Amino acid sequence: MTIGVLKEAADKRVAVVPDTVKKLKELNLDILIETQAGVDAYFPDSEYEEAGAAIASHQDILQKADVLISINPLEEPELKSLDKGKMLISQFQPFFDHDVADRLNGLGLRAFSLDMIPRTTLAQSMDVLSSMASIAGYKAVLEASRYLPRYFPMMITAAGSIRPAKILVLGAGVAGLQAIATAKRLGAQVEAFDTRSAAREEVKSLGAKFIEIEGAKEDTGAGGYAVEQSEEFLKRQREEVQNRASKSDIIITTAQVRGRKAPILVPKSTVDNMRPGSVIVDLAASTGGNCELTEDNQVVNHNGVTIIGDSNLAALMPQDASVLYSNNLFNFFKILVKDGELSLDMNNEIVSGALITTAPETTISE
């Protein structure tokens, strides 16, 4: 069976790195890598060839590969050009693109969506969402530091003392916890809020203060996403956030509700009360944003407050992001492949959860 790894159209990451090529070869798979697929992540073609992959053009890979791998899905015209029965592995986000499974089925294509892998202990090594969220949380703090006109740590100098920066993290999932850890390492004072009571101890273990707001709904099966809350709770939350925000130098927001618009945690009135020079980094920008003034993929200045809307910060660290994504992908392949061929056990919740199509052709075992 031949695996084809495509160069991303507008992303510096690559789905498979040279070290993973060697591991995939041990599964008796042939690997085609698109020319310069990894160059923006600092993995030249020569390293792929040394690992045992063949370098090919984009069109050759579309035609010859049995399985096409990418981080972001192919555009519709290219999907329509593919042979029926072709297998695709990418992040199709069916919770947001509700028709994607129907479109792929209509084209006779089979597809695994890596963002649909169950977020369970058993599947942790395949969880691309957590891998990318961890990088995003780290990068959010560094991006905030670029715009903040002040130090993070307390500084005692001959010219006077500088107070430490105060950072508020809204959402203590994978991204939020990494943001907390990074901000603490840089010397900031950090406090965090999450609707899940289980996050309390994790936040405290990182040295941050946990903000208590009673009455939150919880759902342990939400897969790391936030749960939609009552308007009464959201009102109390907004009041508490406004109180904390007026004293914060940086706010990092990470809350998303799967398949729905992100909740507004930082309304315009809160931003209006923040000090000039303060920074908001909104990691939920792609689903509407947690800040009312967020614009996706834009940096906005509102009365001296900088608002960074970016849900894809992991792409700003393409080398390590590619390594982690590639490792997740290999661990997924280990349960998909037997003797160099796809052998799909539909009784395995990871396989059945990630397979979003019902198109036939099948090496699929019922």
Taking the C-alpha atoms of residue 166 and residue 177, their distance in angstroms, rounded to an integer, is 16
Beta bridge partners of 300: 307
81 among known catalytic residues = no
Query: What are the angstrom distances between the C-alpha of 197 and each of 56, 181, 214, 219, 308?
Result: 50, 19, 10, 11, 28
Which of the residues 13, 119, 196, 238 is marked catalytic?
119
13 among known catalytic residues = no
Which of the residues 115, 127, 249, 282 is marked catalytic?
127
124 among known catalytic residues = yes
Which of the residues 124, 230, 246, 352 is marked catalytic?
124
Query: What are the angstrom distances between the C-alpha of 119 and each of 88, 124, 135?
Result: 21, 7, 17
Residue 106 CB partners (closer than 8 Å, separation 6+)? none
127 among known catalytic residues = yes
Which of the residues 48, 147, 225, 325 is marked catalytic?
225
Quote the crossing angle between the two packed helices 318-336 and 128-147, to the nearest 10°.
170
Taking the C-alpha atoms of residue 137 and residue 132, their distance in angstroms, rounded to an integer, is 9
Cβ atoms within 10 Å of 363's Cβ, excluding its own: 15
242 among known catalytic residues = no
Active-site residues: which are they? 119, 124, 127, 130, 225
